[in-house]
Structure 1
Amino acid sequence: MKLSIIIPAYNREKLLAITLDYIAAQKDVDPNSFETIIVDDGSEDGTKGVYETYRRRIRHLKYVYRARDERSCRSRARNLGLAESNGEMVMFLDTSMLIPNHFIRNLYRIMEEHAHPKLNIYHYMMGMWVEPEKHDLTVLDELTPDIMTDITKRLLALPEWLDNREGLFQLADHDLNKLAAPWTLGWSGCYTVNRAFVQEAGGFDEAFLGWGAEDTDLSYRLYKQGARIIADSEAPALHLPHFSPKEASVKEVLNKRINNGKNLMLQHQKRYEFDTEFFQLYPGPYYNHVLARFHSLSLMEIVPGYSGELLRMLRELLREESRTALIGSDLAYFIQGAGVTDVFLQNPNVIGALGRRLPDARMHYLLGMHTPFADNAFDTVVITDYIRAFPGRFAMRLLKEASRIGKRVILLFTDEYNSVINWLDGQHWSDIELIRKSATANKLTVAELAKVESTRILELTGPPRRKDLSSEILAGEEGHAVKQPMPSAQVTAD
């Protein structure tokens, strides 16, 4: 069997029925070449009745039921479907996601053209951001499987219906491995992946409860394990906008945002890498541009060329300390001259090169806003002028975390310095008042220890404000989903 379509469902009988209508309408494909699996995540409506109706229209239609409990979530529902699947590829499809009648035929073409044991296909999804309360949906009144392609062509002329990943799909010419962070585009509303590959990776991580980040977490793990990622814009899927009860809509949106923030942090805590650390601040397609810039920069273009006299003074300040960290330099002369033991860097290529030159230094692929280190893990954390290249809220987070993991923070501040990069961007660096404001907000006291030429050596001390995140790291192998026993479920199939 070529394909298994997995549809998680919870109390959406009407939307599920419409989704199945469009699967039943597929043309020019062998109906025995794919199966469809409905995973009922404890619905209390007529979801099973929908299955009973469509089992006569769709061959190889399965129904999997799991009673609702406190661990119910999209991840578990999709994993249940994955366990029951038999296809070479599996497609995760949300209820309310409609596929045109040539979708599976087009999918088989992509599978043949890009045959690969680790193939991932990110499908174009229209209407993800359409709001029923704000946008005109009357065009959908005439929507049927036979004319869906004509309707979608009309909708693609309206900006609110576009998939906001479209620009990156085009930029990479649909070969998403060309991008810096293609995994950020791996959204599970309509997403196809090699079944053996996703099973070996452990499927979706069921620690992600509620809405958000469970799909980018899986996409990230698959990307790290060598996924071949292709975008498909030839057969756009259409997300059918649906209303939420008015009295619950504001609360629902707020809860989604809160839960998404928690899940983004969980995604980072599983691995503690810069990719996921900074993704919390730019959780969307634009992150590809942000990460590409970090991966193309040398910090020599950002921070001043600190003098040998300053480095000697800094080394003397750190002489009696056993463990010290540096944020904001990737130059061997600075690392050796200051005598630091740990370095936080944001460019994997630089980490590799420096690691070979300085084998005794510990290199960490982190910025320093959310780290796995315990309170006071370092005697001192040294931060260069690099902190001034970031907006104030980022600088505040860096100081907050540095003051947690370090017994003290030393900040190098060079008066009247603006880097070439910032000058080209037309930006100005944070001044000393913003640094003092950030320190005050974090209950840190600032003292000037010395000044070498135009660079001040500032000492920041104070009580840590943030709890030790290292205690929250998930059990299990770092960077992989924690494999859990598969829950029991009732399976019905033709």
Structure 2
Amino acid sequence: MSPQRANQPRIAVVIPTYNRSALLRSTLAALARQRLPVSEFEVVVSDDGSSDDTSDTVAGFVDRLRLQYHFQEDLGFRASAARNAGARRTSAPILVFLDAGVLPGPDFLSAHLSAHLSAQLPGSAVAGYIFGYQPDGPVAALDETTWTLDPEQLIRNHGDSPEFRDARHLAFERFGFDLGNCAVPWQWFWSGNCSVRAADFWAAGGFDEDFRSWGGEDTELAYRLFGRGARFVVSRAAWAIEAPHPRTVVPNLSSGSANMLMVLHKHPDTVVELLWSWFAREQHSQFQIHHDWNVEDEYLLVLDAVAKARSVDVTDELAQLRHMAGSARIAVLGCGDDVPDWLATAELFDFDREVVEKAAYQVNHAIGLRTALPDNSVDLVFVTSRLRTLWDQWESTIRAEARRIGGDLLGPPEPR
């Protein structure tokens, strides 16, 4: 980390907001109670075009916080743009992103600082713990009078309650709260409470401003950070509490699914396919969000399938396909790296990144759960035996994708 300049804050909190002045007031009040000296941190409220008294709320804290206020015109949901604009206004070397209505504990900022300073590797991304965060609604056991208490008292009263836990708690617990032990750590980096070094944030490009509705922008940023070598860390000490507020669960889930599809189009990758599939399943299960956000096991199955598929030769299968296909437009799932010339213009997919990188023709990195192909773009979808170990798990999803892109489905061949 570069040397600290005079009067430069050590850490900055960026809070995007839109017409949430009451929730924002609670968040700012909690930040004003930080044990970290106020001279050492900065708060930037980035307003996405509010029409309520948000600006007056911010003005009420200028004597208690080192505070900046940024306003952007209301052109629809632009949380990514608001976060980026807020981040540009500070020179702090560490950026914390916090949602309006999330109430940090008194050592919140000290804990985020400590997580970065104690990290064994540079480029850490810290997921702070969010008590009370339940995507499908507020914690039922807590009534409105509860929220007159300070965050510390709330934790003393309810911190051990399972329903008051962060929705990610079971996933964190599985890995001993050490995300270095898992294959997909970036799936739990959520912008309600997270931090990253400013240099790493901007090197990755910040939040993608193409996201114009709820969900996915933090996951997409985390994917890019991970690709650049970021080490993801959970900090239970950097805890905060999400205050209850109305949620639009069904629209949020629908938006999240659409945005995850956008992530997949931006980053064609098997693990992103799995995340998209999770959202798609949830969207079709009576719009109820289950607290099992975790594609770790599914991704490990894919990695195991990749290892097994490296000994599978599909040359004969592709030769037989030539006699069956005629002039049909073809998509091949599990094409392998030895693609015959006659398939050069086909839509080719494989779930092994090494195959994708060394194939003589363009091969897309995908299982086939969801491709980037438009509707009705092929006549025939051929699944090779390279997908045999994944077929039982994903047959129905792959068949649905084959119907979407318009082709009859053949394969995979039965094992010999």
TM-score by length of 2: 0.81
Q: Match for 2:208 among 199, 205, 209?
A: 205
Q: CA deviation at 1:205?
A: 1.4
After superposition, the Cα gap between the structure-2 partners of 1:172 and 1:338, relative to the gap in structure 1 and judged at 3 Å, is farther
Aligned-residue Cα RMSD (Å) equals 3.4
Spell out, residue by residue over 1:198-246, the C-alpha distance to the aligned partner (whole angstroms, 9 max, x if none): 122221112111211111111111111221211101232111112x3xx
Matched, 1:125 2:130: yes
After superposition, the Cα gap between the structure-2 partners of 1:126 and 1:311, relative to the gap in structure 1 and judged at 3 Å, is same
Q: 2:30, 2:103 within 8 Å by CA — same for their partners in 1? A: yes
After superposition, the Cα gap between the structure-2 partners of 1:151 and 1:296, relative to the gap in structure 1 and judged at 3 Å, is same
Q: CA deviation at 1:108?
A: 2.0
- Output the amino acid matched with 1:131: G
The equivalent residue for 1:3 is 11
After superposition, the Cα gap between the structure-2 partners of 1:394 and 1:376, relative to the gap in structure 1 and judged at 3 Å, is closer
Deviates more, 1:337-346 or 1:260-269: 337-346
Q: CA deviation at 1:360?
A: 3.0
The equivalent residue for 2:231 is 228
Matched, 1:30 2:37: yes
After superposition, the Cα gap between the structure-2 partners of 1:110 and 1:395, relative to the gap in structure 1 and judged at 3 Å, is closer
Matched, 1:369 2:369: yes
Q: Match for 2:104 among 81, 85, 99?
A: 99
Which whole-Å CA distance do the structure 2 matches of 1:409 and 1:224 have between them? 34
Matched, 1:163 2:166: yes
Partner SS, residue 203 of structure 1:
coil
Which whole-Å CA distance do the structure 2 matches of 1:133 and 1:286 have between them? 21
1:429-440 counterparts in 2 under 5 A? none
Q: 2:133, 2:164 within 8 Å by CA — same for their partners in 1? A: yes
The equivalent residue for 1:56 is 63
Which whole-Å CA distance do the structure 2 matches of 1:314 and 1:301 have between them? 19
Which whole-Å CA distance do the structure 2 matches of 1:207 and 1:282 have between them? 22
Spell out, residue by residue over 1:243-295, the C-alpha distance to the aligned partner (whole angstroms, 9 max, x if none): x3xxxx6xx33322222221111111112222222211124631122112211
Q: Match for 1:326 among 322, 332, 335?
A: 332
Partner SS, residue 26 of structure 1:
coil
After superposition, the Cα gap between the structure-2 partners of 1:355 and 1:93, relative to the gap in structure 1 and judged at 3 Å, is closer
The equivalent residue for 1:459 is none
Spell out, residue by residue over 1:352-373, the C-alpha distance to the aligned partner (whole angstroms, 9 max, x if none): 5x866xx535443201233234
Spell out, residue by residue over 1:446-493, the C-alpha distance to the aligned partner (whole angstroms, 9 max, x if none): xxxxxxxx8xxxxxxxxxxxxxxxxxxxxxxxxxxxxxxxxxxxxxxx
After superposition, the Cα gap between the structure-2 partners of 1:7 and 1:412, relative to the gap in structure 1 and judged at 3 Å, is closer
Q: How many residues get paired?
A: 390
Structure 2 unaligned residues grouped into runs of 5+ = 1-8, 280-291
1:380-419 counterparts in 2 under 5 A? 381-384=381-384, 386=388, 388-390=391-393, 393-401=396-404, 403-404=406-407, 409-414=409-414
The equivalent residue for 2:276 is 280
The equivalent residue for 1:266 is 262
Which whole-Å CA distance do the structure 2 matches of 1:184 and 1:158 have between them? 24
Which whole-Å CA distance do the structure 1 matches of 2:379 and 2:73 have between them? 51
Q: 1:22, 1:101 within 8 Å by CA — same for their partners in 2? A: yes
Q: CA deviation at 1:390?
A: 3.1
Higher radius of gyration, 1 or 2: 1
- Output the amino acid matched with 1:360: A
Structure 1 unaligned residues grouped into runs of 5+ = 418-453, 455-494
Q: Percent identity?
A: 23
Q: 1:368, 1:402 within 8 Å by CA — same for their partners in 2? A: no
The equivalent residue for 1:45 is 52
Which whole-Å CA distance do the structure 2 matches of 1:312 and 1:15 have between them? 60
Q: 1:91, 1:190 within 8 Å by CA — same for their partners in 2? A: yes
- Output the amino acid matched with 1:272: P
Q: 1:3, 1:91 within 8 Å by CA — same for their partners in 2? A: yes
Q: CA deviation at 1:88?
A: 0.4
- Output the amino acid matched with 1:262: A
TM-score by length of 1: 0.70
The equivalent residue for 1:181 is 184
Partner SS, residue 207 of structure 1:
coil
